[in-house]
């Protein structure tokens, strides 16, 4: 895959209807369902992904034709662009993702704050209502 990849697990997923999810679908090519090792927590009306461990987080894998442009507006959306004062709620990282055609190294937004007191989303699927 020559394009940069993006793994989304919450309000940017293909099955979520929001203006930002629609924008991502318009600018990027959906590769298909994917999963990454980690835990998913309910922050408020959106989730936070903490990479690592033995559990799996379900999401969608996108190919980014213009990665620099798309990642720039996503950094704004996730409030982790350099002009936002720290501490940031999210940080953009690359992680290994099990995609529909095998493993892929993809960008994702990892939750960067403490998870103490947050409810874990069992099954790791935000869209399942967990």
Token pair belonging to 35: 């999963």
Number of compact structural domains in the chain: 1
Task: Answer for the pair 34, 99: CB distance below 8 angstroms, yes or no.
Answer: yes
- Asked whether residue 65 carries a pLDDT value surpassing 80, the answer given is yes
Please indicate, yes or no, if residue 124 is contained in any of the structural domains. Answer: no
Say how far apart CA 39 and CA 118 lie, in whole Å. Answer: 11
Instruction: Tell me what pLDDT residue 3 has.
Output: 80
- Asked whether residue 39 carries a pLDDT value surpassing 70, the answer given is yes
Please indicate, yes or no, if residue 43 is contained in any of the structural domains. Answer: yes
Q: Domain range spanning residue 41?
A: 4-115
Say how far apart CA 120 and CA 55 lie, in whole Å. Answer: 11
Token pair belonging to 50: 């903490």
Please indicate, yes or no, if residue 122 is contained in any of the structural domains. Answer: no
Residues 107-127: b if buried by 16+ CB within 10 A, e if exposed:
bbbbbbeeeeebeebeebbbb
Looking at the DSSP assignment, which residues form a beta bridge with residue 39? 50
- pLDDT digit string (tens) for 85-130? 999 999 999 999 999 999 999 999 999 999 999 999 999 999 986 5
| CATH number of the domain residue 13 falls in | 3.10.490.10
- Asked whether residue 1 carries a pLDDT value surpassing 80, the answer given is no
Instruction: Tell me what pLDDT residue 2 has.
Output: 60
């Amino acid at each position: 895959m020559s394009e940069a990849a993006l793994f989304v697990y919450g309000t940017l997923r293909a099955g979520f209807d929001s203006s930002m999810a629609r924008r991502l679908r318009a600018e990027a090519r959906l590769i298909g369902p994917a999963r990454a090792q980690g835990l998913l927590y309910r922050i408020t009306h959106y989730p936070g992904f903490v990479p690592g461990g033995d559990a799996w987080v379900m999401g969608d894998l996108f190919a980014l034709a213009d990665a620099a442009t798309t990642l720039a507006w996503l950094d704004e959306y996730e409030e982790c662009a350099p002009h936002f004062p720290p501490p940031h709620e999210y940080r953009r990282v690359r992680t290994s993702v099990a995609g529909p055609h095998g493993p892929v190294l993809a960008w994702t937004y990892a939750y960067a704050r403490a998870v103490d007191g947050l409810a874990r989303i069992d099954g790791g699927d935000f869209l399942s209502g967990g």
